[in-house]
A and B are shown apart, each in its own frame.
Chain A
Amino acid sequence: MANDVCFRTLHLEQPWTLDSYRSVGGYSVWEKILKEKTAPDSIIAELKTSALRGRGGAGFPTGLKWSFMPRNVEGQKYVVCNSDEGEPGTCKDRDILRYNPHQLVEGMAIAGYTMGASKGYNYIRGEFWEPYERFQAAIEEARAAGLLGRNIMGSGIDFDIDVHLGAGAYVCGEETALLESLEGKKGQPRFKPPFPASYGLYGRPTTINNTESLASVPVILQHGGQWFLELGKPNNGGTKLFSVSGHVNKPGNYEVPMGLPFADLLELAGGVWKGHKLKAVIPGGSSTPVLPAEIAMGMTMDYDSISKAGSMLGAGSVIVMDETTCMVGVLARLSHFYFEESCGQCTPCREGTGWLARMVHRIEHGEGRQEDLDLLVQAASQIEGHTICALGDAAAMPVKSFIKHYRDEFQYHIDHKKCMV
């Protein structure tokens, strides 16, 4: 039931090597495609059947995204992998790069073939030096084995991959900011339309997928879309990597089926530490709304259930907070993060994130004003939906959800100039 997809090499001695990957059936799909020239449409159909949804946080169906790519347009097209993992609470892609890099190589190669792109770039965040080296070694191993390059295995198919290293900017996880960064510019998101599928890297058709999404593809095609779908639940196919962090006994990355009850995931992670009680959970990374324990305990870990609970599955980054947590302090830290990471392009985000961060900071430090809470919610709403990219929304949602569920704690800070917990 676990480690069936992205972590399928994890039990091996040196899971990142080509031999290890081959031993679990790695590259069999790619070799089959090279030999049989599988119809790209059938690959896309299989992905659609699998109900694989974008694992970077947005949850857009991967098969549908691939189908937008104008495969028959002349000229260079690109496949870009987004390994700019930076959403607080998220560290799953790092482990794919470190422990199963070949599966990502294979996933990117299949994507390139399917969408008629002969070149792929993997954008890895600059801090990830060890994962970069592992992935780079995998590329070189794959090239040496004749699995990448020109006219691969005499198939007439070309595909190669290079790494682009970031240099410290959360916003580059946004796909168009990532493209700008790949072009050697500031990582400022582009407005859409046009979408990358028509105007992407260097103005060419480009598809950008998350690391986990691409790494899932070889396994889906090996076992079939239906198999993957049935690992999870309808519309929420497959397994998912959950990074469980915070106040648990065994924080870690867990690959489990979609639809697993949150309570079970918490148990896998050893339960809340120190025998404390669960207070709150951020289920999908810092940008997703916080949920109080009683709501979280009733949900299952899939897009639909978490959405119904009032939050989002996001990148599957489960941040667990126990009863001793000061929610004002946590929000102050998160608001500071979005303030630090706003690219500065759009007015509401550039100006608003600083405003939010300063207000929450004041409240935390006993300088809150009575009108601050309403103003915080209003200012957050004024950012939300008014910016080019989703960073503005991401900055707004924690503010709104923290105040919605824990308003009394904030009010206490304002009234008593100290924390109630």
Chain B
Amino acid sequence: MAQANIELLTPASRAEIDTWVAKYPPERKQSAVMAALRIAQDQNAGWLTTELMDAVAAYLGMTPIAVYEVATFYSMYQLEPVGRHKINVCTNISCLLRGSEDVVKHLQQRLGIKLGETTADGRYTLKEVECLGACVNAPVAQIARQYYEQLTPELIDRIIDGLE
């Protein structure tokens, strides 16, 4: 088996993973895998390489396939490169009823890409997501950790203009 290189995880990432490992019993380091994958993804422009997942596996004493299973199960992990800003648009029922279709249409026009695509300059990825749990402020989108609520085309333009 190829030796996974835990050095792929930056010292800062490893330190942050350690704070999550500390939350669980010592023999249950695997519980920190979700946090570790999130941290690894954040240090790598928002997506997980196989090598990074192998590093997480080695760091937490897991078999690689167990890490791949987790990484492919949860929708917030990206296994392909994404744009610098991943725009997650909720299109589920409450958002649908409040115009998420218009939000998607506006974003697609403004960015020139379809759902699931990334702009050629690598700045934006547009992703449809399931209910974000802010239904009373629909329509809703999430960019990085921030929620944007009660979206209108004007608000969307302002948000995009404000992204670096």
Contacts and interface: CB of A to CB of B under 8 A. Distances in A.
When A and B assemble into the complex, do they touch directly, with CB atoms less than 8 Å apart? yes
A182 B34 CA distance: 9
A126 interface: yes
Contact of B30 (A85, A162, A184): A184
Interface in B22-42: 23-25, 28-35, 37-38
A9 B121 CA distance: 46
Nearest to B93: A88
Contacts of B142: 127
Contacts of A202: 25, 28
A186 interface: yes
A170 B74 CA distance: 9
Contacts, number: 152
B136 A167 contact: no
A167 B76 contact: yes
Given A166-B34, A319-B97, A186 B135 contact: no
Contacts of A164: 23, 31, 34
A90 B142 CA distance: 17
A89 B133 CA distance: 7
Nearest to B140: A91
Interface stretch (A259-267, A333-341, A348-356): A333-341
Interface stretch (B9-17, B65-73, B105-113, B153-161): B65-73
Given A89-B94, A127-B142, A244 B136 contact: yes
Best-surrounded residue of B32, B93, B96 (most CB of chain A within 10 A): B93
A167 B93 CA distance: 21
Interface string A157-175: 0000011111111100000
Interface string A60-104: 000000000000000010000000011111110110000000000
A76 B26 CA distance: 13
Contacts of B136: 91, 243-245, 251-253
A186 B67 CA distance: 9
B133 A168 contact: no
B99 to A, nearest CB: 11
B94 A88 contact: yes
B125 interface: no
B75 interface: yes
A173 to B, nearest CB: 10
A10 interface: no
Contact of A246 (B29, B73, B98, B145): B98
A50 interface: no
A169 B94 contact: no
A184 to B, nearest CB: 4
A251 B93 CA distance: 14
Interface string A118-132: 000100011111100
A86 B76 CA distance: 14
Contacts of B62: 184
Nearest to A126: B76
Interface residues of B, number: 45
Contact of B97 (A94, A187, A325): A325
Contacts of A330: 93, 96-97
B38 A167 contact: yes
Contact of A321 (B73, B74, B97, B134): B97
A127 B133 contact: yes
Contacts of A125: 133
A121 B35 CA distance: 14
Contacts of A129: 145-146
Contact of B76 (A168, A183, A333): A168
A184 B137 contact: no
A333 B92 contact: yes
Nearest to A188: B73
A181 B97 contact: no
Contacts of A207: none
Contacts of A168: 74-77, 129
Interface in A395-413: none
Contact of B130 (A85, A183, A341): A341
Interface string B54-83: 000000101000100110011111000000
B138 interface: yes
A247 interface: yes
Contacts of A165: 34-35, 38
Contacts of A126: 34, 38, 74, 76
A311 interface: no
A333 B130 CA distance: 10
A326 B34 CA distance: 39
Interface in A308-350: 317, 319-321, 325, 329-330, 333-334, 337, 340-341, 343
A330 B94 CA distance: 10
Interface in B81-135: 88, 91-94, 96-98, 129-135
29 contacts: A91-B137, A94-B134, A125-B133, A126-B76, A127-B76, A127-B147, A164-B23, A166-B34, A166-B74, A167-B37, A167-B38, A167-B75, A167-B77, A169-B74, A181-B34, A182-B31, A183-B30, A184-B29, A184-B33, A246-B94, A246-B98, A252-B136, A319-B93, A319-B97, A333-B91, A333-B93, A337-B92, A337-B93, A341-B130
Nearest 5 CB-CB pairings of A with B? A168-B75, A167-B74, A184-B30, A129-B145, A168-B76
